[in-house]
Structure 1
Amino acid sequence: MTRLPSPASGTPSASGTPYLREEILAYYERGGENTRLAEGAGRLEFWRTQELLRRFLPDTPARVLDVGGGTGVHAAWLAGDGHEVEVVDPVPMHVERSGLVPGVTARLGDARALPAEDTAYDVVLLLGPLYHLPERLERVRALAEARRAVRPGGVVVAATINRYAGLNDTLRQGNYFRPERRERTDAVAADGRHLPSADDPDFTTAYFADPAEVPGEFDAAGLVCQGQYGVEGVAWLMGDVDAWLDDPERREAVLAATRRIESEPSLLGTSGHVLTVGRRA
């Protein structure tokens, strides 16, 4: 596979060619996105993202641009619902696989320089790109591109990883009691910047956002923020969540409980992920 060039700035070229850090590309080439949301606690993230998007998307058929759509996990059900879905992703393997999903088209592209016409879409989703843009300027640039591509009044939804998600998760797993992991985890909690390490191989270069900073980035991009929603709430931190999700009755109880606190300000940061919803005025 041809490697995408990675200049020091990490920004796309004027032509929109996607640049991806080598370690981020290598992480996604492992193929974990094929199954991550289909098993274990990842199912909670999938089901909650799905129900939130269905709440905010317009009636079918809407034209949806799924930026950083990976292997088409969400594009598949969006197309199944009757939407016209296009995936743009900087990982060639993701583009290849999402392009095989019925009703979905896919092409290589960068969130910071979208291969999209102005006002061409009813909805633009960024359910991953902001994870890997540590600099605020780059995140605002991606959001501004989403604004450019969506029609006036159209919906933009962006996902962020919460600032303390790593701290909460390493506590849950017990890894926080290893001094080297604790030091790295505390550093991420301080400034949000996660760097890959042989001691911490489960993720790659990323930015963990304070939920309170995201509306300001929407505003800087010319988007009107309309709400923020904790995806997993506190349920993802519970040791029995996998078993609960296996049981239909308990699963519905977990989803209902998470829904109840999804926008509670005092609990927003406990969720692993937050969806921020905005519109182009």
Structure 2
Amino acid sequence: MQESIGKADVLIEALKYIKQFYGKTIVIKYGGHAMIDEELKEKVILDIVLMKYIGMNPVIVHGGGPEITEVMDKMGKKSEFVKGLRVTDAEAMEIVEMVLGRINKGLVALINEHGAKAVGLSGKDAGLISAEKCKMDVDLGFVGDVSEIDPTIINVLDREGFIPVISSIGTCNGDTYNINADLVAGEIAASLKAEKLIMLTDVRGIMRDPKDEKTLISTIKVSEIDSLENEKVISGGMLPKVEACEIALRGGVKKTHIIDGRISHSILLEIFTDSGIGTQIIA
């Protein structure tokens, strides 16, 4: 009986958040170990399906870094990176597009199996993501930045009850570009004026000491980011995630969150509990 009462208490705690976020758009950047571990993947998908069933509008953005590298290795093509960005020639771009398409279809199928309706998109569809060639001292090939988001197709799918699942490629003058999925998620969240942007990662959040989870910073204001970067508290792979959060907040998103996707049902824990998890970045 006590266990049942405990479950009821959890539902009551969630009720105020269900009311608060009913009809609101939540953009989820899906990546990290939660994309590879089948058990975690199942739980992430269940979280997203539940969000849809209780009246929220989840939008998923995904990349595919580890799988792209794995396929390129199998095809005998070496992966090169400059400042964390994959050098992408025409052959590599074909591989990137193929792998992202496969990941996208897999996620869509899994969501549909659990009773929701998902539609897979790439930035090519309906002019969703317009790109521009990434400007760096080194030519990275078909690596791009987002120049514009046209969210029309996302809004149509939301209205019709579908969950959009978006891969991070864009187009410019007929060419296809590989774009950092974190930044795509931030730009899409901004274009939708989403309620939240949630970034799934393989760490607890932003920590002053990466080796000590007790140093987790639960809330960061945008005004504090520069000093944290100078102190190297924010560095490496966390930089594009924080930049994505800044883009989203500048675009009118209310809150952004960097959470540990390795935690079971991490999305639900962030949205529907008083304590939340990870690091929230706010304006």
- Is the structural similarity TM-score above 0.5? no
- Give the TM interval when normalised to the shorter protein: 0.3 to 0.5
Q: Which one scores higher on RCO, CA 8 angstroms, separation ≥ 6? A: 2
